[in-house]
Structure 1
């Protein structure tokens, strides 16, 4: 595709968005019926604000889902420490709840506008951000073009480029270059990610490491944790976290294989808690007794599965065990972030489909803190081995803690990269109150 054709394609995309804009309402209604949209705040998806814009400099942060939201929390807190206002957009109801739980009134939260010219334009007209900071891998053509047209610096932080995305963009190189030339800066997670962004036309590109390593430890309720530990008693536990379809049933199969030998309690934390009703039914049909966190069910000696069907309590679930399988890796592809279990003292197990977190898994596996399994049978053997061998389990835990410590520093590197964009806003924010007082 030539440069001229790429720009024609982007122009066509722009006007196609204008054409379908009146029809999008029905689509959002359908998503709301599925629990994927907040029907009470649907107008935000069309760019209509539901909160007042704070006075003074403002940065627009966008984090698509839970992982990205957690990753940018320390960055947002640094901006607020500098008296810079923040509007944070997310794309899922789950991430909105995480934003509220972790940031509260520190920021204004809105749902991200649809990538259509009327919605994006209305959003930018109202919020007038000085800088846009986008987390990880969110590439929305209309949003990028609108920010570029308004000369608003846009920065990708904690940026990553999956194998699939790179292949897709590489096949449309002129289109990628026409978009990525609008980026003021890309701060990538790894050298591989950085090289991919450069190949697609982004400049400048730096490497920070993974912001999730520098994040706060996932919170938990100490009293609740103590209560659960008393209920568990001497039973062995393991967790299957961030699971996708099929992996919960795999965890159930592992549980049945280990139940008689190890007297094990299995903790399952689905990536999408709204699936929990269906999961409970499926697990019960397998003859398993299920306790759910949302019901505050007690963990009795007869409980087989503890279903962690809440949002923002991963710290609680991981502190209940020392062995964690990380999902979206056995059947689904891409993987999920293994850093939280490593940070909280768990030996990490995973399937082999971890393309989105390859660099992180390589570092953990190289140091002996993560093991990959091919199938359910191998997962059952790995869980049994770790539960039965305290020394082997502790060796993996210690290796994980050491690896995480070695990986720290991404927050400092990211802030350093952002300084040309945020330092002027810091000065402006701190001078404004004085100017007002003098007036």
Structure 2
């Protein structure tokens, strides 16, 4: 499809690739610096130079890429559905962040391995493709790497852009370099958006109407991994208390959660609030806010006791444990410019969902759940305290019906993706 590029697109893509080639000699030092800062995997950082950390499995290999934690975890349901259609398929998942690799490792679907995505310069991508030889490449959500897409297209590997959501800010930023993104999108045989607004934005960028709307992949994911022994240990230590969770939270979410917990304690309740920050390295910053509370900290090996009011869950890859332990979760990012995180993971583990007003990153997900009365919007500590203290339904049956209704979209998408391999 890259043969249909116009002059502006050819020039834009050429300049991008030339620039990334020029900076390639400096990227090794950049990665080594990030390793020292704890931002890259100390043994696997070479994967970002296209140096494989595992053998290619035999058979048909589908390569799926997503950038961060939420995007990578959303691929699990699609992988399982593809595996159910053809158990011989093999899957390579790439991502860019350390936390995504750590969490995904505890939640691997069948026939799946993980690697870090090489930085986007032609030499690294060529080395990556020389080793893996994927039969199909799937790019998820909105962050795509033009040089990697182009190198993949040059090898006539079919590619699709799936589960796309595009914020207004992202659309505006892409319009400034529209020829580059038009050149990139032309390499995709199929584009599947989560909802209508994203589809319209993509149509304006790409210049044609052949864009599907299939909804989000997130409702189809299996529940997060839970260590059963740790859950039993935590449940026994909690002694049957009411537990609620501030999940994947950021500073603004923590502030409103702490105000809510103070209200609940003043009202005579004895709930336990688990704070699970999106970035566990913020633990010291969060502890500074907790003066006056009785606090236990996960990374210190502590468990809650009868007096514990706040439990700081400052460890990686245990979100499944916290959702399974709590009755209600306030979804992080919904009180800040982050604009929300995934609400489906909580519901899949029987935990009710509360969220603030800022949900642009998951607008269609929260809209569908709200229309099904499977989540509750809260605006202030009083709302949260009232809901936590009440005996409100968690909407789990309504969530399950909504999840079932979405399965036909996933089935149709899988038909098309498998058709790309056979074409």
> One fold, TM greater than 0.5?
yes
| Contact 2:146/2:181, CA 8 A, preserved across alignment | no
* Distance (Å, rounded) in 1 between the aligned partners of 2:52 and 2:209: 32
Structure 1's 334 and 319: CA in aligned 2 closer, same or farther, altered over 3 A?
Answer: same
* Distance (Å, rounded) in 2 between the aligned partners of 1:396 and 1:108: 35
* Distance (Å, rounded) in 2 between the aligned partners of 1:318 and 1:295: 20
* Distance (Å, rounded) in 2 between the aligned partners of 1:310 and 1:408: 33
Gaps of 5+ in 1: 425-439
**Structure 1 position 420, deviation (Å):** 0.9
Structure 1's 178 and 8: CA in aligned 2 closer, same or farther, altered over 3 A?
Answer: same
What SS is found at the alignment partner of 1:299? coil
* Distance (Å, rounded) in 2 between the aligned partners of 1:350 and 1:43: 39
Structure 1's 337 and 126: CA in aligned 2 closer, same or farther, altered over 3 A?
Answer: same
Name whichever of 312-321 and 70-79 sits farther off.
70-79
Q: 2:159 aligns with which of 151, 154, 159?
A: 154
Partner of 2:279: 272
Q: Deviations over 1:103-138 (max 9, x none)?
A: 288333211000111111221122222211122222
Partner of 1:305: 310
Partner of 2:412: 413
* Distance (Å, rounded) in 2 between the aligned partners of 1:407 and 1:177: 30
**Structure 1 position 150, deviation (Å):** 2.2
**Structure 1 position 182, deviation (Å):** 1.0
Higher helix fraction: Structure 1 or Structure 2? Answer: 1
| Contact 2:225/2:320, CA 8 A, preserved across alignment | yes
* Distance (Å, rounded) in 2 between the aligned partners of 1:125 and 1:65: 25
Partner of 2:351: 346
| Contact 1:345/1:400, CA 8 A, preserved across alignment | no
What is the number of residues matched between the two proteins?
415
Structure 1's 358 and 105: CA in aligned 2 closer, same or farther, altered over 3 A?
Answer: closer
* Distance (Å, rounded) in 1 between the aligned partners of 2:127 and 2:404: 43
| Root mean square deviation, CA, Å | 2.5
| Contact 2:353/2:394, CA 8 A, preserved across alignment | no
Q: Deviations over 1:3-30 (max 9, x none)?
A: 5334322211111111111112232233
Partner of 1:435: none
| Contact 1:209/1:409, CA 8 A, preserved across alignment | no
**Structure 1 position 194, deviation (Å):** 2.5
Partner of 2:125: 120
Partner of 2:248: 242
Counterparts of 1:75-86 in structure 2, within 5 Å, are 75-80=78-83, 81-86=86-91
What SS is found at the alignment partner of 1:36? coil
Gaps of 5+ in 2: none
Partner of 2:288: 282
* Distance (Å, rounded) in 2 between the aligned partners of 1:322 and 1:402: 20
* Distance (Å, rounded) in 1 between the aligned partners of 2:367 and 2:78: 26
